[in-house]
A and B are shown apart, each in its own frame.
Chain A
């Protein structure tokens, strides 16, 4: 249970970062932290106490295994996050070129 709570806290940390930080890069990092927390959650859901990795081998007796599906999901999700983060960083660079600042509160031409 503690693990779940910690994982949830990590999610909140990411959310807190996005909500309060002004720096573009810190916002991107906070978004990544949220992503990690989610991945961790998926792995935790798959975990069964005292079980082994989910690969069948010849000659080894079948034992309780962890759920393999969330691990596959996490791999996919990591790839997606990689793509998103790369795009965000590129956007942040472009924003710096245009606005000469990394402060998100000063980047607000669009309003109303």
Chain B
């Protein structure tokens, strides 16, 4: 039993995590590192394996197909790179817990993607949510207890919905099997739609789709930055989108209306989150909103019903985990050196932390969809797939689809805009004297972010060769989708040449017409004061003051659109009414009893 590779992928990190409870920090680190080496090796060995399964009580519990292999490989890769970042620099007082939780998270995430059986899926899914809560309890900010609570109410609550969804699927499948891979429930009646939307809630809460995304920005702000890069930026995306992909391939049979609804939700996620991201003053929160916004593209891609866009969605999932964790980690490096992630207080760090600056720039360019970085091609595939799908729809649906597509492209432009702000606010702008003592980031952090940046480039230039042909297209075939007719028109070499030419032309023009003179800022002959510094955060203040956006922003800041706050308000007002029914008066209580008895008799007479 113990020589089963799939089981080992879960058991080894689990065992290490239990061991780590009793060990000193340094050994914890070594053990976690060794674990990741082992799991990565196992994962690599599994590349050509077929029909690996693990059976318990005569049920297939774990199994591996190409789709789960894709997610599995993503999990090992990201955990490994983020671990390198965490080896040095995690806050001293949380280090112990951090390295006990880290392998735990890995074990449960592996469990989720390997599970074939609904129960094991549910258990691992819930437990990976639990590790998220435990990580968020390590947060040090003032709001972190509140954030931890909010996060876990949304995540744990969605687990409860998932229980019901799985039970409904089992029931609709006439109670035959608990396997997730062979259901194919047609969406015909109320029950099947309910099941579908319950699954959707779970997937959206985990990945951060509208309207269940609200925990991500808060979590990003208040939790240890390594855990932010690990969970909401990487693993939770992988798991949430993995579930979504499974829903659209093996669990349900999707119809056009559902496609449209999901694409709309995706577009809404993109636009709402990116609008919020533009006005943030806190770097972590800004990245948190972007983490939500990018999910919108994956949701659109997977939900659109076109195979090309589906592949694009999966590709975008892995791309997003790479550049988003890169961005979070570079911000983490900055924060660890300067002690703040507040964009108003940072600025001009490009000079003192050049490597970090370059990595962050690559991440920002990737997320904004600039070729040849990886973010471009996956978005491109999604757009093309949606256009392809639109062509097959009737006229009314076409307009709807096009509106969503336009919103998505607009969101992409806004992403670029807000990353200009982000990069400017931290790395550009006037060099500040008080940052002169700042050192470069430690080697392990540069190595980790460097690896991620390298991946951004590799996945951009050799997109078809490496990730698509090896992982994503086999995943599509394995889950019963036909291969897309064409992979979209994309030629990275041509792109690079074009962009390179444009860049060189720019430099040439700049050199020939060089008429500028650089000097320090001054004001009336004096050195300029701090308050005259150009802050990146002010770039989009106009957007914030535009009617009707200003009212919307005001409401958003009061959290009127936060599903957590809405339900809290509803709960409290209902409970206030119910509390009035319990005034401590004995006679009233006795009356309830008598009335209850009478109601029973009246009912029983019928």
Touch test A–B (CB under 8 Å): yes
A56 at interface (Cβ–Cβ under 8 A)?
no
* Nearest A residue (CB) for B581: A112
Q: How far is the CA of A109 from the CA of B586 in the complex (A)?
A: 12
Contact A104-B587, Cβ < 8 Å, known A15-B594, A19-B594: yes
Inter-chain contact A20/B584, CB cutoff 8 Å: no
- Chain A interface residue count, CB cutoff 8 Å, equals 12
Inter-chain contact B590/A111, CB cutoff 8 Å: no
Inter-chain contact A112/B594, CB cutoff 8 Å: no
Q: Mark A82-110, 1 if CB is under 8 A from B, else 0.
A: 00000000000000000000001100111
Pick from A19, A108, A110, A112: contact of B590, CB under 8 Å: A19
Q: How far is the CA of A27 from the CA of B587 in the complex (A)?
A: 10
Interface majority SS (helix, strand, loop, mixed), chain A: helix
Inter-chain contact B584/A111, CB cutoff 8 Å: yes
Inter-chain contact A19/B584, CB cutoff 8 Å: no
Q: Compute the total of residue contacts between A and B using a CB distance below 8 Å.
A: 27
Inter-chain contact B582/A112, CB cutoff 8 Å: yes
* Nearest A residue (CB) for B583: A111
Inter-chain contact B582/A111, CB cutoff 8 Å: yes
Q: How far is the CA of A47 from the CA of B283 in the complex (A)?
A: 86
Distance (Å) between the CB of A97 and the closest chain B CB? 19
Inter-chain contact B586/A104, CB cutoff 8 Å: yes
Q: Mark B68-85, 1 if CB is under 8 A from A, else 0.
A: 000000000000000000
Inter-chain contact B585/A108, CB cutoff 8 Å: yes
Pick from B579, B582, B585: contact of A105, CB under 8 Å: B585
Q: Mark B563-588, 1 if CB is under 8 A from A, else 0.
A: 00000000000000001001111110
Distance (Å) between the CB of B244 and the closest chain A CB? 43
Inter-chain contact A109/B584, CB cutoff 8 Å: yes
A18 at interface (Cβ–Cβ under 8 A)?
yes
Q: How far is the CA of A104 from the CA of B587 in the complex (A)?
A: 9
Write out the residue numbers on chain B whose beta carbons fall within 8 Å of the beta carbon of A111. Answer: 579, 582-584
A-B contact list, 9 entries, CB within 8 Å: A18-B587, A18-B590, A20-B587, A104-B587, A108-B583, A109-B584, A111-B583, A112-B583, A112-B584
Q: How far is the CA of A14 from the CA of B152 in the complex (A)?
A: 51
Q: How far is the CA of A27 from the CA of B586 in the complex (A)?
A: 10
Write out the residue numbers on chain A whose beta carbons fall within 8 Å of the beta carbon of B583. Answer: 108, 111-112
Write out the residue numbers on chain A whose beta carbons fall within 8 Å of the beta carbon of B591. Answer: 19
Q: Mark B514-535, 1 if CB is under 8 A from A, else 0.
A: 0000000000000000000000
Q: Mark A1-45, 1 if CB is under 8 A from B, else 0.
A: 000000000000001001110000001000000000000000000
Write out the residue numbers on chain A whose beta carbons fall within 8 Å of the beta carbon of B585. Answer: 104-105, 108
